[in-house]
Structures are given as C-alpha cells and as structure tokens.
Structure 1
Amino acid sequence: MLRSLTRTPLMASTVQKQAVRSFMTSVAVADRPRSKALGAVRTGGGSKDSLDISNLDDFQFDDSTTVGYDTMEAQREVRKYLRITKYELPKLKEFVKPFQPPTKTQILRFRTSTYLGEANHPAAPKVVLTVPTKSLPLTNPELHKFLLLVGPRYDPVKEQIKMSCEKFQDRSQNFKWLSDVLDTLINEAKKDPEQFKDVELDLRHAAKSMKPKVRFPKEWNRPVNKAVEASA
C-alpha cells in the first residue's frame, strides 16, 4: 500500500509529460503547412528574407519618397480645412444673433477657458467671476463690510471683486457655486454694517499694484544742443 502511494505522484507526472509531448507533436504537425506558407511569404519563396533591409532592391525613382508622402499628407490636411471653410462655415449664418450689450442689472462677468483638442482638460471646468464694486446694491457701510468679508479677492486698483471655482467637474456647477457665494456675501454684508465701520481694510495683498510708479522728471533731462541737431 505504501509503495503504491509513493509511486502515484511519479506516475502522474509521467502521464502529464506524455500528454504534453503528444499535444505539442500534434500541434506542430497541424501547423506545419501554415508555417511553410508564412516562410514562403517572408522569404519570397527563396532563401532571402524580403523584410531584411540588406536584401531590399535599389530605389529606381519610380515612387515618391517619404518626404514627398509627408508633403502630400500636409496638402490633404490643408485642403480638408479649406473645404470646411468653404462649405461648412457659411451654414453657421443661420445661428447668428445680434449683439446685445449687458444691461445695468447684469453686472456679473464669468470667464471660462476652452482647450482645443483636449475635451477633458483638468482646467476646463474652472470659472472666474468678476464684478465691479460700484455696481453692487450696497450702501457705503454695507460695501465696507462686504470688502472686509471678501478680503484679498478685492482689487482696489480696478475696484472689482474676483473669485474663481474649480471644485466641480461640471462647469455649470461652478457657475452656480460662485453665484450662491456672492449672494451669501451680499446678504451677510447687510446685517448690522455699522458695527464694522471702524475696521480698516487690509490692502497688503495689493500693495505692489498700488505703489506709485517713479518717473524721471523732465527737468532733469540733459539739455539738447539745437546747433548739433541742425548739423546732423
């Protein structure tokens, strides 16, 4: 009994080897005509390999070169866009709408960026909101509190608020988020604005842009000799 148990793994491995050997032999016999056909295609029916660069025939100038094919491909692409310009662009006239300037109530300006050829660009959903402070429906105390709440998003040189959002993948959600935040800030600024009238605005973020530019005084210019200019 022990001998049979000890010989069983050896017998199993021998049977497996024989089965694999017979299977490989049958595959080789069955695939022999196909291998011969592939060898005939690769070697062209002879002893030379037609895909070997050293066995290629000399160029007889009976076909275009690689540079020539590249030039023709560039011409095809140019003609493609010329056809689009001639036949497709005139169809867009049906969708033309007259320009209407924004009204006094339309004070919000949204800016987005579109990257051609990249539909899923990571910066495409970003939306930037700018609004002039003079257009906000706020009194002077309310505007002062509003600017305190906004903080460094206020530009004192351009007198406008600038905010951006890229939290969501959908651009419309970023539009809505900015609009809601602006409404919340305006409503909060209208609550007891007199309590913050003594608080000064922190404009250190705009100190560089508010710094006056030093210009060379005209009185310090070197006097010009008119006689020398006339002779020149």
Structure 2
Amino acid sequence: MSYPDVTALVTGGASGIGAAVATRLRAEGVRVVTADLAPGADEKLDVTDPEAVDALVAALGPVGILVHSAGIVGPSKRVAELGFEEWRTTFRVNVDGTFLMCRAVVPGMVRAGWGRIVTMASIAAKDGNPAQSAYSASKAAVVGFTKSLGKELATTGVLVNAVAPAAVETPMNAHTDPAVLARSQSLTPMGRFGKPEEIAELVAWLCSARVSFSTGAVYDASGGRASY
C-alpha cells in the first residue's frame, strides 16, 4: 500500500481494533501515535474533553491520518429502563468524541491538501440492536456525521469514510450482554465474530493513498450480515 510521510493518530489504540490498526499501519512504515484512557497507549486521552483533544493534536503537529476507534458499547437495557445519564454518556463518547477529534485534525489536513479520516461505526447503526438503543443511535449519528464531513471536504484532498463492523472479538465487548452477542452471531452468515486484524486490513486500505475516489462512504465488515 502507499502512504505519504505523515503521522497517524489512532484513538482507542490500547486494545482491540485500535491496537490492531496501529500494528497494521506501523508494518507499512507509518508513524503511529495511539491515544486512549486505558494503559498501554502512547498518549492518555479523553476524547470527550475538547481542551485535551486540541492540546494533543497541537503537540503532535500535522496529523495526516486519523483513525477514530475510541468508543463504548454502553448499557444493554430496554429503553424504559435506560437512565438519561447512561444515554448521554454513550453519546458523549461515541458522537461528541468523533466530532471533537475530527474538528481538531481537519484544518491541518486541509492546509496540507491531503488527509485520511476513518471513523468507527457499527452494523448496529443500520440494523438497530434491541436493548442497545443508545449504542445503535450513537453509531447511526457517527454514520451521518461521516457522510456529511466527507461531502464537506470532498474537494480538499481529505477523504472521510466509516467502517461498520458486526460484533468483533475485542475487550469492548467483554461486558456486553451475552444474549446480545449471541443474537449478533446468529445473524452473521459466516457464523462467527470478526477479528480486530480483519477490521484493521480494511482500515489500513482506507488510510492509504490508493483510495482516491471514495469519501463519505460506509464500508461494512459484517461477515455477510449487512443487507444494505
């Protein structure tokens, strides 16, 4: 694959999909900085903190690639049982975090005339998982935001795309309701969960210079589950 001499910032990079993406990009010779609240990342970052996000991007200098993988599943509860703060927390991390990270890196990418942004959506954004309304709705918001930003930047050299995985074997899903995971697996024609490395392959391609005529798109990685 082809990558210019740029810095890649990968949020949620301490584990799961983010860590797999960082490993994959580094294998291509890309300078990668991982950011996460969990131990093990290069930088500690709360993606819901505007000042912290802006400060990190400023300290790194020009960021040519952003892979925003930080996110939470949130509570697996029926709507009538879901607390407002639980709803808001899911949106703060998944939606506000996406907005803040993109807002911070876009000006530098536009000035450089080149950039790649990959956001992490979910098959839940399309299907709407029962008992996961906060997660499903927040990931649908990520899809809408990505499509809007992709169109906004379409003539700048900055491409913005989303990846929508089905359930993946990651620490983020360690505390997900087993019934929710079982339902997801039953709906997947391949009959298994995805692996972080499989998602990372798609993300790495979207970050490369080989992608030149795709922006504002959503790429499924669902083992055949996606139907539209």
Q: TM-score surpassing 0.5?
A: no
Instruction: State TM-score, norm by structure 2.
Output: 0.18
Could you say which structure has the higher strand fraction?
2
Instruction: State TM-score, norm by structure 1.
Output: 0.18
The higher radius of gyration belongs to 1
State the structure with bigger RCO (CA 8 A, min sep 6), 1 or 2.
2
Could you say which structure has the higher helix fraction?
1
